[in-house]
Amino acid sequence: MIALKVAGCVLVITSSAAGGCLKARSLQRYVNTLQELRQIMYLFKGEMAYTKAPLPHILEHLGGQLEQPYSGWLESVREELMKNESNSFYGVWCDAVDRELETLELKEEHKVQLKETGHFLGQHDIESGIQCIEIYLQKLEWEIEKERAELEGKKRLWNCIGIMSGLFVSILLL
């Protein structure tokens, strides 16, 4: 009977520790997601600056280079622009961010910043679009640094919470 209780306690502690590790790993994935968005916007800025191509062409070119969900996002924006030119770029951009990037589970503040970039991209000339992307990149750099600074402490916290909750439940079971 005692061996069964000990085995149960070990399983509870192990599973709760694994849960804490999974949460800690998801925090790291979020920082990686922000870094991927930064890289995409650098590519977008480069395409705008050097090719001076129209937005649908840039979206098509970048969409072909990227993996999901980013390629689906840019392709969705391009298709909507080509299909219905009466829609504003901003509306199409926001819809695609909500629909195609939902799996990234971006925080609301980061989603709003990304949508604001689309607002200014669709309204101005190439130089203004590049400046808009540069402003977004500066904000994103700051957000990445902020998330990265908090990351180690939060990872340690979630690992401890996982282990401690397992120990607590194990004590209750004994």
Residue 124 is predicted with a pLDDT of 67
In the chain, the amino acid numbered 89 is F
Q: How much is the average pLDDT of 117-146?
A: 86
Rounded to an integer, what distance in angstroms lies between the CA atom of residue 81 and that of residue 104? 23
Rounded to an integer, what distance in angstroms lies between the CA atom of residue 99 and that of residue 82? 18
Is the model's pLDDT at 100 over the cut of 90?
Answer: no
- 120 CB contacts (<8 Å, ≥6 apart)? 128, 129, 132
Count of C-beta atoms within a 10 Å radius of residue 122: 19
User: Is 68 strand, coil or helix?
Assistant: coil
Residue 92 is predicted with a pLDDT of 86
In this prediction the pTM is 0.80
Average per-residue pLDDT for the chain: 87
Residue 141 is predicted with a pLDDT of 93
Residue 87's pLDDT band (cuts 50, 70, 90):
confident
Is the model's pLDDT at 38 over the cut of 90?
Answer: yes
Residue 90 is predicted with a pLDDT of 83
Residue 169 is predicted with a pLDDT of 87
Q: How much is the average pLDDT of 88-101?
A: 86
Q: Find out whether 109 and 27 touch, Cβ atoms under 8 Å.
A: no
Instruction: Give the pLDDT confidence of 138-159 residue by residue, as tens digits.
Output: 999 999 999 888 888 888 999 8
Residue 171's pLDDT band (cuts 50, 70, 90):
confident
Taking phi first (over 0 means left), then psi (-120 to 50 degrees means alpha), and beta for anything else, what does residue 125 get? beta
User: Is 77 strand, coil or helix?
Assistant: helix
Rounded to an integer, what distance in angstroms lies between the CA atom of residue 81 and that of residue 21? 42
Q: What counts of helices (H) and strands (E) characterise the chain? A: 6, 0
Residue 6's pLDDT band (cuts 50, 70, 90):
confident
Rounded to an integer, what distance in angstroms lies between the CA atom of residue 69 and that of residue 130? 23
In angstroms, how far apart are the furthest CA atoms of the chain? 76
- 89 CB contacts (<8 Å, ≥6 apart)? 55, 81, 118, 121, 122, 123
Residue 1 is predicted with a pLDDT of 78
